[in-house]
Structure 1
Amino acid sequence: MEQSGSARSSSRDEEFTAYVTARMVWLRRVAYLLCQDWHRADDLVQSAITRLYLHWRKASAAENVDGYARTVLVRVFLAEQRGGWRQRVRVVERIPDEAAESADHAGRIDLRAALAALPPRQRAAVVLRFYCDLSIEQAADVLGCSAGTVKSQTARGLDALRRALEPARDLAEGERLA
């Protein structure tokens, strides 16, 4: 027995709503790691779930819906970086609204600041590889580039993070010795 068009649409909407409700926190965290601003992360997630809704039939049929959603989110972020908005609006650095979970608050803030300083593609590569735990090939698929590009972007990003965090390590070691 075949469902009517409105019944299929209602079922589709319910399925989409259930997915987004269940994965909203995860999507928001990934967006925050990409852009380093909770308000902008909310905007990125909103744009991504709008695109996801438009393509929900294809997304829900995908083998990995989370992977599909993550790809949409990263591509929305990268498209925004290329757009004019980013050039006209200056995002200022500030401490996140939420309290840090770990005892090393300063370390987390330093890491977030260093991550925010990375160019967008390096930041996306590092987030996909180490926060989302994707393989090089999976990250290449999400970013729409070659595996070699992911490797080089990740290596450059990690090198920049190490350089940015090195003074903080030297200072912390000097304080312990004093």
Structure 2
Amino acid sequence: MTARWQTVLEQLVDERYPRLLARATLVVADADAEDLVQDALVATFASRARFTHVAQAEQYVRRAIVSRSIDRARTAASERRAVERTVAEPVPVVEIELPGLQQDVVAALRALTPRQRACVVLRHVEDLSIAETAEQLGLSQGAVKRYTADGTAALQRRLDVAPPDDDGERLALLSPEEAHRD
């Protein structure tokens, strides 16, 4: 059984949508008119307002079109002011020195995907186990192994370091002094 509000909504859209669209076009004067009408219809009927006839619903939607357009204009103006303030402020360039990590390693780490970078740093710099890394990142242990392996391989390629030999020598992200310091 169709609710009364659904019948009124269907009849309103069928009979009066062109007029609502024309009003919205006059109010916003751009291609956002259809979106504005849709927003107004949703706002009007989302609360399942009790309209007894289509003319009453149309008046409500017409008011919603105007109030939504004002809200949009305020939001856009506020966003423009925020962008202008942000652009006007110079952003200082900060060079971060990470003890034990050379700048080329830091640059190579930045080139990894976020998950690869997180896994490599937690496993090789923070010296966490696979299980601890998986827990911290909310990943499976298999995913940690994969991201770590992919990240390490990418670092080896970027830093032009050979993969581990049979003697077990591995890529070291820390300087020899940092790695042996406890």
Give the TM-score normalised by the residue count of structure 1. Answer: 0.38
User: Based on CA coordinates, which of the two structures has the bigger radius of gyration?
Assistant: 2
Structure number with the higher helix fraction is 1
Give the TM-score normalised by the residue count of structure 2. Answer: 0.38
Higher relative contact order (CA 8 A, sep 6+): 1
